[in-house]
Chain A
Amino acid sequence: MAVSKVASVGGAEMATSEIALGRADAAEAARTVPAEAGLLEACRRGDPGAFAQLVGLHQGLVFNLGLRLLGDPEEARDLAQDVFLKVYRTLGSFRGQSALRTWIYRIVVNESRNRQRWWRRRRREKCLPLESLPAADSAQLVADESGADSPFETVRRRERGARVQAALRQLSFDHRAVLLLREVEEMSCDEIAAALELPEGTVKSRLSRAREALRQALVRGGGALS
């Protein structure tokens, strides 16, 4: 595997130390919400450690939401980079009128929508579907085996995940976005309205249609549902 990386002068050392922020640390830090303002302030002052912390805290949600919206791990990886650069460049204009998380969700959805338009035109046909792709999958399977789940349960869970992802792909982008924010990210309808800059009533009616579309897609996809 190549070690070449598009030149990020000096980033490597800092990066490898900062990305060690594990999920447990992230969850811990997420609970201390008042720290968010201080973190943002430190980011605005140009403190690289603070921004690394912000990335560590939010990269899981950014990458996973992107992955579900776009259905392609490589695209999601590039998207996550674009999102954080946008966050970094526009931190000055973020006034805290919404939660940082909501603001980041908005950027993820908007960037995904743009990327999907471009991607559809250019290279969708070249991409492998998610369920056949991730090289990380085999590693994930091994990792899971050491945990509480049996290998059988792990495989079953991944199959279910692939089935849901296939169903999601049949939905329109807007339906997918509203569903993921509600059911996976567990946002309330007014939070989604803020993130998507839509009236709450529109969110609710869209959510209703999206839920029904998902049900139909899963039923079409076969397998017992209820």
Chain B
Amino acid sequence: MSCGAVRDRLSAHLDGELAGREAHLVEEHLQGCAACARHWRELRAALELLAQLPEEPVPEVVAARVLGRVEAETRGPGLRALYRSSWSARPLILPSLVPAALLLGLTLSVALRLDTPAVADEPLPPVPAQMLGDWNTAPARPAPLVHTAKVGLPRAREGVLPEDVLDQMVEGSLFLETVVGSDGNVSEMTVLGGNQELASPLREALWRERYEPVRYRGRPASVNVYRLISHLEVRAPLT
């Protein structure tokens, strides 16, 4: 058997898939050919290295976010559960949070508005009327584009909520809507619910945040981000 033929069969040989006679021929060749024997040793060593890759710990935020989004999708029972579990501990937060959350429905939905008017050649997909809200009556703005699946959330580039602001969060939560513009700056901010006393220091910190803007159809676009900020949340950078 030639060196080429042997090397073509090494993978199958490794998996024990060669028939008896073929396996024997390969083994025989490996014993007599130093180059192929070295090739064989390297192949096995490479796969061993691969199999020994250390398992990395999963960031806690993965499960927290997945379950949070699933919870938001199964709104009804989810919010009832939240109401039950948190009512006794934080009676003041929920009355303001729950209605705000219900109004917004799927809170992870991303409503996208293109800033640039240069998309005239590309007709925008129709937007469900209920998602348009006030924008319907604001013709000066470009029509908002509702898009959920393919548009990511903007990534925070800088701007971290300062510790002293966070410490105040022990006593409450704040639910707000921010608009991250196509330049990566926060351009709008609306407090939707929660402890209004927290709004002022938080808003200052949030205005300073800078993002990597999301892109849609190759252009930077502005995007609505709904945020629930509270001491309950996993401490992790906003993505």
Residues of B within 8 A of A71 (CB): none
**Does the CB pair B53–A68 fall under 8 Å?**
yes
Closest CB in chain A relative to B204 CB, distance in Å:
14
Q: Are A164 and B49 in contact (CB under 8 A)?
A: yes
Chain B residue nearest to A214 in the complex (CB): B46
Pair B234/A15 contact, Cβ less than 8 Å: yes
Query: Per-residue 0/1 for B44-83: is the Cβ within 8 Å of any A Cβ (1 yes, 0 no)?
Result: 1111011111111111111111111111111001110110
The chain A residue sitting closest to B159, CB to CB, is A2
- Tell me, in angstroms, the Cα distance from A208 to B47 when the chains sit together: 12
The count of chain B contact residues (Cβ–Cβ below 8 Å) is 80
Residues of chain A within 8 A (CB-CB) of B65 are 5-6, 8, 11, 15, 81
A180 nearest CB neighbor, chain B only: B50
Q: Which residues of B sit under 8 angstroms from A80, Cβ to Cβ?
A: 58, 62, 66
Do A204 and B12 touch across chains, with their CB atoms under 8 A apart? Answer: yes
Q: Is the C-beta of B232 less than 8 angstroms from some C-beta in chain A? A: yes
Assembled-state Cα–Cα distance A19/B41 (Å)? 42
Residues of B within 8 A of A77 (CB): 59, 61-62
The chain B residue with its CB closest to the CB of A185 is B51
Contacting residue for A219 out of B42, B57, B161, CB 8 A: B42
- Among residues of B, the one whose C-beta sits closest to the C-beta of A123 is B212
Alpha-carbon distance A130/B175, docked complex (angstroms) = 35
A29 within 8 A of B: no
**Is the CB–CB distance between A14 and B58 below 8 Å?**
no
A residues near B8, Cβ cutoff 8 Å: 208
Q: Is A207 positioned at the interface, with any CB of B under 8 Å from its CB? A: yes
- Taking CB atoms, residues of chain A closer than 8 Å to B233 are 3-5, 12
Complex Cα gap A225–B99 (Å): 62
The answer to whether the Cβ of A199 comes within 8 Å of any Cβ in the partner chain is no
Instruction: Check B56 against A189 for contact (C-beta < 8 Å).
Output: no
Chain B residue, CB-CB nearest to A126: B212
Cross-chain contact of B53 among A4, A48, A55, A164 (Cβ < 8 A):
A164
Residue of A3, A9, A163, A167 touching B82 (CB-CB under 8 A): A9
Select B63's contact among A2, A52, A212, beta carbons within 8 Å.
A52
**CA of A104 to CA of B175 in the docked complex: distance in angstroms?**
34
Which of A1, A6, A11, A64 gathers the greatest number of chain B CB atoms within 10 Å? A11
Q: B46 contacts A10, CB within 8 Å?
A: no
Nearest B residue to A83 via CB reads B66
Per-residue contact bits, chain A 208-226, to B (CB 8 Å; 1 contact, 0 not): 1001101100110000011
Given A48-B74, A81-B66, A88-B70, verify A2-B237 contact (CB < 8 Å): yes
Q: Which residues of A contact B159 (CB under 8 A)?
A: 2
A226 and B53 contact, CB distance less than 8 A = no
Q: A226 to B111, alpha carbons, bound, how many Å?
A: 55
Q: A60 to B56, alpha carbons, bound, how many Å?
A: 8
Q: Report if A1-B71 is in contact (Cβ < 8 Å); known contacts: A9-B107, A12-B64, A81-B65.
A: no
Q: Contacts A8-B68, A207-B11 known; A183 to B63 CB distance under 8 Å?
A: no
Interface check A18, CB cutoff 8 A: yes
Determine if B49 and A9 form an interchain contact, defined as CB atoms under 8 angstroms apart: no
Q: Is the CB of B49 within 8 A of A12?
A: no
A8 and B107 contacting across the interface, CB-CB below 8 Å: yes
Are A2 and B161 neighbours in the complex by a CB distance under 8 Å?
yes
> A49 to nearest B CB, angstroms?
10
| Known A8-B67, A18-B63, A208-B10; 6 more pairs at CB < 8 Å | A2-B161, A5-B65, A7-B175, A85-B66, A212-B10, A226-B44
Spell out B's residues near A (CB within 8 Å).
7-8, 10-12, 14-15, 17, 38-39, 41-47, 49-74, 77-79, 81-82, 85-86, 97, 101, 104, 107-108, 152-153, 156, 159-161, 166, 169, 175, 215, 225-239
Cross-chain pairs A/B with CB under 8 angstroms, 14 sampled: A9-B78, A10-B101, A18-B67, A46-B77, A51-B70, A64-B55, A78-B239, A158-B54, A161-B52, A211-B11, A211-B46, A212-B10, A215-B42, A225-B42
